Structure 1
Amino acid sequence: MASTSVCLGSLILAVLIWKVSSRRIPPSILSRVRGPEKEHWLTGNLHNLFKDSYDYTCQLIKDYGGVIKIYGVLGSEQLFVSDPRALHQVVVKDQDIYHETEMFLKTNQLLFGEGLISTDGEQHRKQRKMLNPVFSLANMRELLPTIQPIADELLRGIMSEVSPDGGAKEIDLHPWMGRGTIEYVGQAVLGISFGAVDPQNSNEYMDAIRQVAHVGLKIFFLRPMVPWAVRSLSPFWRNKLVDWLPLPPLRQVREMCYTMERHSKKILEEKREAMEQGRAGERRDLMTIMLEANQSTSEEERLTDVELTGQINTMLLGGQETSTSALSRILWILSRDQSAQARLRSEILAVKLAHAAASGHDGPWESVHLPYDTLMALPYLDAVLRETLRVHPPTNMINRTCTRDAILPVEFPLTDASGEEVKAVHVPAGTNIVISDNGNARGTSGQALRLRAGRRECQCL
């Protein structure tokens, strides 16, 4: 019986692959754009882009320039764009032409529900209108008293692993950053504690949020097939398909989706009940602010429960995943550049000592908690954060679909397949574009980070 299911699943997968491959874009126009050879019959070049691909993408940019032809699933031709002018054209100037891909929207909708990263058009506009005021500077400022104790607890946890005799010991900080950020987002955004900083604590919702992206990468080659499956199959047959396909990670992702949906609904019910009973608390989280705003808006602008639960999963996953990556990368950079670490430590120490003296704080300087405005005014800390995010963005690739034939200008001239220098690329309708931030770090791979003294801007040499 098991072997029959595997055979049936393999047959269905073959049919799905044929369905996708039969809809590929004709290669005639993009054949003029240079790029690497296809490296795998199924994943093209994507398997290298979705690994720790910084060096790989920097080499592509060095070899072919800021607009490159790459191969996607089953050899579909795509454009990999890092040229600054081309990026501006896609993301800002012609954003009415370059839309979020259906693959991206439908995949996120299945994973997280109808949240901000799963919707487009009027529904997306309505959600943005509701959420923008929630994430205002005033509300962000109010979150610092919630976040500071979590940072203190996180530090105590890390220090518990340090050798008491002062000897050298290697500590993997990435899991610690993951625990800290999911607790930050849980308390500040949702108003709940996962107890995540304690390594002994486990929670199925927390585990699902932390693992879904990593498990999903094991089956990323299925993403181009998701729109077809959503359009063509009912939920019943989609579930049957997941059961039949010989892909255990696919079933893992489904169970994680069930877990996230179940817990987000529970959180929404509990938040509403607390608001109705006046138990929102003195320190309000962003979810409470959003529910209050949603309740007071007009009927046609109000978000549905399905949309609200979608926002819960989106904010928790988005905030946790990107913050963990950014914090881990900052610590990695500072560990490699001792002079930058010493300078940052000196800046923070000086400001803490000054604040302690001004406020009459008589405890150790480590226990001084700086106000929001003081933290935001630290120039070197600001430079470290901005430069790290520039060179190593937590989300360094996004996709867009060109909805009609367009011309994509470039800042730096390209050499096409015939050896001719060109200043623009013709993009046919239906072309998928992979947008990369690694072009901003061109020429920086493996070289030292230098942050300019006394200035908000910084330079990577």
Structure 2
Amino acid sequence: MADSPFGLRAPSLPAVFSFRAWSVGLLAAAIFYIVGHWIKQTPLWKIRGPPSVSFITGNYSQMFHVGAADFHKYITKTYGRVIRINGFFWDSQLVVSDPKACTTILLKEQDVFEEAHWFLEGHRHALGVGLLATLGAHHRRQRKLLNPVFSIKHMRSLTPLFHGITHHLCDVLQTKVAGGPAEINMVEWLNRLALELIAQGGLGYTFNSLDPDVEENEFGKAVKEFTPTLSSLIVFRRAFPLVSRWPKRLRRFGAKLLPLPMVHNMIRVTDILKKCTKEIYEEKKALLERGDDVFKQQLSEGKDIISVLMKANIDAPAEDRLPDEEILGQMTTLLFAASDTTSSALSRILQLLSQHPVIQENLREELNEACSRSGKTDLDYNELVSLPYLDAVCRETLRVFPPVAFAYRVTRADTSLPLSQPIQTATGAQSSVFVPCGTAVAVNIIGLNRDPHIWGADAAEWRPARWLGALPATVAEARIPGVYANTLTFIGGGRACIGFKFSQLEMKVVLSHLVRAFRFSPSKTEIVWKFGGIASPSVKGSTDVRPQLPMVVERV
């Protein structure tokens, strides 16, 4: 080591050379990997798609920014059912809405088309070992134990609870419009409502989120912040596989060093979620340790999902039981998956009803007649699901505006996607697409749900009346592999949304009260919808990251 003019010892030539050698070696390895990946993906290059806008992030900025809805509409109309887009460093990825190809992805070859590594590891570290973070036999074992919790029988038992929570919201809104029509940020209250529905119906816990006089606790705040924070990281999450195999402490240390406030916020939010769900779980577990009879009595009185799940876990064969870590994972996953998707769907419905006053009045009339026939204001499960116009409004909204626009998969082996209609490529028409191992594939939920070849020329139009008559024959012929209403809104196959009946019940209970009690009209502000993980409304031009949906509300 030689002395520097400033009294410091300068590194010797061999040390400098060693550092440079390592840097050059790492750069060469990265280039070698990227070029090798490009060569493997050459069969995809002939598939048409939009030009990349960035060498580093490809088309991601177009896929997920505020105006992404227009971009999605443009690429589907321009390039058809199979589209090639670019990810990081010109990584070729497919966006697929062909029904036959989607059947292969979600049903026939679901073990080849698995969840992306960044998706699995991201949810594992943010939410724990829940349904969103497991694959294969592990996922099926979790799902087997959870399936009875989401049965129709259990949904019936939750209906009175949902009515009671919604009454609380109506009381709050009645106070706000007591002096006449008022502009209210409805998404804020729908978020609070959805959070309380899943808290009480899912965890047997209350955030008191509908009481404006009660200060919100850190748990409730963290749940509300989770999705906006996660959405702000949606591009960075695709780089997660690069560090996912590092030790947990090293990942956490590295994340804290990053000069990115949203990363630090994500760490804080997930720490709170895990801490609070563990406290709730330990309280329930303590009842079990005090004696099985005491615990069973609590379970017989409580209908929340986690209590019922814990009871099922006790009664299950040893090989099917979930460890504590996985029960905790289901709890945090429930909070995330059930609250924001429901509030997104309800926000969209109320916005559409405000823009279509005739449809709003028709729905109100059906609900009033149903209550008059039954002689009660709280319709039971069977009465709610038998209302055709209410069902049509829900189905049409979830078809045209699914809260989640894409389902992401990555191929674990070379495979081929058969197509129901040939596509035009740079080398001519082809009726199947070869997909190399390691290719990212996005199932285009919104594209298939609005496909004019399936739903007709008005496929992109919100028209609930289409569900009151016979659907076009092309809908049945398409054989869409979804679990709900010939759509992919709740996906299909072994990873279909397990809680879609829960979500449907929430929506119908809430609408049965809000539409009868209040009239909704658009405000003068322009609303745009952000496409992160879950669609959320915002005022155009606003810098506020929180969802916003100002509407004029008045008593009926």
Give TM class, smaller chain.
Answer: 0.7 to 0.9
- 1:89 aligns to 2:108 (yes or no): no
- The one-letter amino acid paired with 1:193 is T
Shift of 1:21: 5.1
2:239 counterpart (210, 225, 237): 225
Corresponding residue for 1:310?
329
Tell me what 1:364 maps to: none
Q: CA deviation at 1:453?
A: 7.1
Say whether residues 1:432 and 2:440 are aligned partners. Answer: yes
Q: Does the alignment pair 1:129 with 2:154?
A: no
- 1:401 equivalenced with 2:420 (yes/no): no
Please give the TM-score of this superposition, normalised by the length of structure 2.
0.73
Q: Secondary structure at the match of 1:451?
A: helix
- The answer to whether the 8 Å contact 2:47/2:84 transfers is yes
> 1:447-458 to 2 correspondence within 5 Å?
447-452=461-466, 454-455=468-469
Identity %: 32
The 3-state SS of whatever aligns with 1:192 is coil
Secondary structure at 1:317 match in 2: helix
Distance of 1:179 and 1:144 partners within structure 2: 18
Q: What is residue 33 of structure 1 aligned with on the other side?
A: 47
Task: Note the C-alpha offset of 1:299.
Answer: 2.3
Q: Aligned ranges for residues 166-181 of structure 1 at < 5 Å?
A: 166-167=180-181, 169-181=182-194
Match of 1:47 among 33, 39, 61: 61
1:422 equivalent to 2:430? Answer: yes
Task: Look up the SS of the partner of 2:45 in the other structure.
Answer: helix
Q: Is residue 72 from structure 1 mapped to residue 81 from structure 2 by the alignment?
A: no
1:343 aligns with 2:351: no
**SS state at 1:194 partner:** coil
Q: How big is the shift at 1:54?
A: 2.5
Pair member with larger Rg:
2
Give the counterpart letter for 2:325 in structure 1.
V
**Residue 22 (structure 1) shift:** 6.8
Amino acid at match of 1:371: D
Deviations 1:91-136 (A, max 9, x none): 1122122111111111100100000110112221210111111111
Which one-letter code corresponds to 1:139 in the other structure? H
1:257 aligned residue: 270
Is 1:241 aligned with 2:254?
yes
- Report the Cα distance in structure 1 between the residues aligned to 2:211 and 2:191, rounded to whole angstroms: 11
Task: Work out the CA distance in 2 between the residues paired with 1:341 and 1:51.
Answer: 31
Alpha-carbon separation, structure 1, partners of 2:111 and 2:249: 35
Specify the SS of the correspondent of 1:226.
helix
Question: 2:216 corresponds to which residue?
Answer: 202
Q: 1:452 to 1:217 in 2, by over 3 A?
A: closer
Of 349, 366, 373, the match for 1:354: 373
* 1:216 counterpart SS class: helix
Whole-angstrom distance in 2 between the partners of 1:446 and 1:175 = 27
TM-score by length of 1: 0.88
- Deviates further, 198-207 or 290-299: 198-207
CA contact (8 A) 2:423 2:429 kept: yes
Paired residue total: 432
Q: Which amino acid aligns with 1:49?
A: M
Cα pair 1:66 1:410 within 8 Å, conserved: no
Among 59, 72, 75, the alignment partner of 1:60 is: 75
Whether contact under 8 Å (2:395, 2:464) holds in the other structure is no
Deviations 1:186-243 (A, max 9, x none): 0011111111112453121121122122112222222233233121x21221122112
Report the counterpart of residue 345 of structure 2 in structure 1: 326
Is 1:377 the counterpart of 2:386 in the alignment? yes
The AA in structure 1 aligned to 2:58 is G
- CA RMSD in angstroms, aligned pairs only: 2.4
Of the three residues 145, 153, 156, the one matched with 2:160 is 145
Partners in 2 of 1:132 and 1:280 — Cα distance? 18
For 1:74 and 1:67, the matched residues in 2 are separated by: 21
- The 8 Å contact of residues 383 and 457 in structure 1, kept in 2 or not, is answered as no
SS in structure 2 at match of 1:230: coil
CA drift of 1:23 comes to: 7.2
In structure 2, what is the Cα distance between the partners aligned to 1:23 and 1:379?
A: 55
Letter aligned with residue 196 of structure 2: E
Letter in 1 for 2:437: A
* Alignment correspondent of 1:8: none
2:550 equivalent in structure 1: none
**1:380, 1:456 within 8 Å by CA — same for their partners in 2?**
no
1:441 equivalent in structure 2:
450
Conservation of the 8 A alpha-carbon contact between 1:194 and 1:203: yes
Worse-superposed segment, 320-329 or 445-454: 445-454
State how far apart, in whole Å, the 2-side matches of 1:452 and 1:179 are.
32
Paired with 2:45 and 2:361, the residues of 1 have a C-alpha distance of 51
Q: Secondary structure at the match of 1:220?
A: coil
The structure-2 alpha-carbon separation of the partners of 1:162 and 1:42, relative to structure 1 and needing over 3 Å to count, comes to farther
Partner of 2:307: 288
Structure 2 CA distance for aligned equivalents of residues 288 and 453 of structure 1: 37
